[in-house]
Amino acid sequence: MDEHDKRGGVAVPARRIPIPASISHQARAALARQIGEDGVPHNARHMMPLPSDHDGWMALKTIAEQHYAAATDALAATLRDRVETIRTEGATIHVATPDEALYAERVLLDFHGGAFVFGGGEACRIQTRGMAHRHGVVCHGVDYRMPPEYPFPAALDDAVSAYRDLLARYDPAHIVVSGRSAGGNLAAALMLRAKVERLAMPAGLILLSPEVDLTESGDSFQTNRLIDVVLPGSLMASNRLYAGAADLSDHLLSPLFGDLMGFPPTLLQTGTRDLFLSNTVRLHRRLRDAGVAADLHVFEAMPHGGFTGSTPEDKDLDREISRFLARCWG
């Protein structure tokens, strides 16, 4: 601990942070459902295994899959699209085509979240369908390989494979890449790999609360700890599981520290209660410094990943994404 850590920290008295009246009643209800009567977020009661405990991670993945299944069953019934699953150079990709497409010969390449460990399979398939349905565009959702079976760089290799497949069939000006949380990390890291491999950049990049600093050096990892009801604490265990023997500060693991020159126009989203708030605002500043056209949307009291997907705030975010796609594709 250096001298600044010892003398410069702010002593915060114990207090309960209220749910603000400045957000919609639907968003307030969504926050309240995720907090116990004692004021502790339900997600804070679950401990992640040690990175070396592969059996523990596999058991946790099974529980997470059951949770995702329960959460997505109702959503699946509302979607209007056709979906198929393909494989390309080892990558598994769900391709969703909306019944009512707004864009012809355009495609969205999407990466799901889940701390690099969760959110694959049917959950990825449903997210892909949701993106296609909400934005009226063909969506390719990459069901990338995950640890403990497949640590870094397997997921990023799958991302590159999926992007190469689209470049073989689409004009790069007709491709937009998106990702949320860990998927935002992969979307940004894909841009860094694309530069090295001399691949054309897409028309745009959408990063929703991206996990772009696996060292967790930002301020909000302290200030929003336990305030974010979705991610109430550090994800260092899953970060190290994903990284394996690699250095967490490597730019392909933490794209915040990479060379961002030449990135496509980028939309970034976070919330004032998001554990990854610092990730997102720091990346926005670095993109601006690199001369990239980057828009930052910070939503009041929003935790990591949004509220429930059906609040006015969530719908506002969807409208911003649709506007961004319209700008990218004219």
70 or 223: which leads in pLDDT: 223
Q: What is the pLDDT of residue 63?
A: 84
- Angstrom CA distances, 172 to 183, 184, 198, 295, 328, stand at 20, 19, 13, 21, 11
**Total number of residues shown for the chain:** 330
Q: Dump pLDDT digits (tens) for 28-59.
A: 999 999 999 999 998 888 888 999 998 998 98
Whether 218 contacts 251, CB under 8 Å: no
Q: Which two tokens stand for residue 131?
A: 């993106």
CATH of domain 23-328: 3.40.50.1820
Whether 180 contacts 142, CB under 8 Å: no
What's the angle, vertex CA 109, arms to CA 152 and CA 159, rounded to 5?
A: 20
69 or 201: which leads in pLDDT: 201
Q: What is the pLDDT of residue 76?
A: 65
Q: Which of 28-42, 113-127, 247-261 has the highest mean pLDDT?
A: 247-261
User: Is the pLDDT assigned to residue 79 strictly greater than 80?
Assistant: no
SS3 sequence of 125-174: HHHHHHHHHHHCCEEEEECCCCCCCCCCCHHHHHHHHHHHHHHCCCCHHH
Whether 110 contacts 78, CB under 8 Å: no
Q: What is the pLDDT of residue 34?
A: 92
Q: Which two tokens stand for residue 102?
A: 């707004």
Whether 295 contacts 267, CB under 8 Å: yes
Phi, psi for residue 250 in degrees, rounded to 5: -55, 135
- Angstrom CA distances, 307 to 20, 25, 55, 321, stand at 14, 11, 31, 16
User: Is the pLDDT assigned to residue 324 strictly greater than 70?
Assistant: yes
Q: Which two tokens stand for residue 265?
A: 């126009």
pLDDT confidence tier of residue 5, bands split at 50, 70 and 90: low
- Angstrom CA distances, 311 to 24, 192, 302, stand at 7, 34, 11
Q: Would you call 63 exposed, middle or buried from its count of C-beta atoms within 10 A (0-12, 13-18, 19+)?
A: exposed
pLDDT-above-90 percentage for the chain = 77
Q: What is the pLDDT of residue 90?
A: 77
User: Is the pLDDT assigned to residue 3 strictly greater than 70?
Assistant: no
Q: Dump pLDDT digits (tens) for 154-203.
A: 999 999 999 999 999 999 999 999 999 999 999 999 999 999 999 999 99
- Tell me how far apart the terminal alpha carbons of the chain are, to the nearest angstrom: 51
| Least confidently predicted of 58-72, 98-112, 232-246 | 58-72
Which pTM was predicted? Answer: 0.94
Residues 289-294 have a mean pLDDT of 98
Average pLDDT, the chain: 93
Q: What is the pLDDT of residue 88?
A: 86
User: Is the pLDDT assigned to residue 7 strictly greater than 70?
Assistant: no
Q: Would you call 315 exposed, middle or buried from its count of C-beta atoms within 10 A (0-12, 13-18, 19+)?
A: middle
Q: Which two tokens stand for residue 141?
A: 């959702």
Amino acid at 128: T
Nearest Cα to Cα of residue 271 among 75, 67, 23, 45: 23
Instruction: State how far the Cα of 54 lies from the Cα of 133, in Å rounded to an integer.
Output: 36
Q: What is the pLDDT of residue 27?
A: 96
Amino acid at 60: L
pLDDT confidence tier of residue 217, bands split at 50, 70 and 90: very high
pLDDT confidence tier of residue 100, bands split at 50, 70 and 90: confident
Residues 21-31 have a mean pLDDT of 96
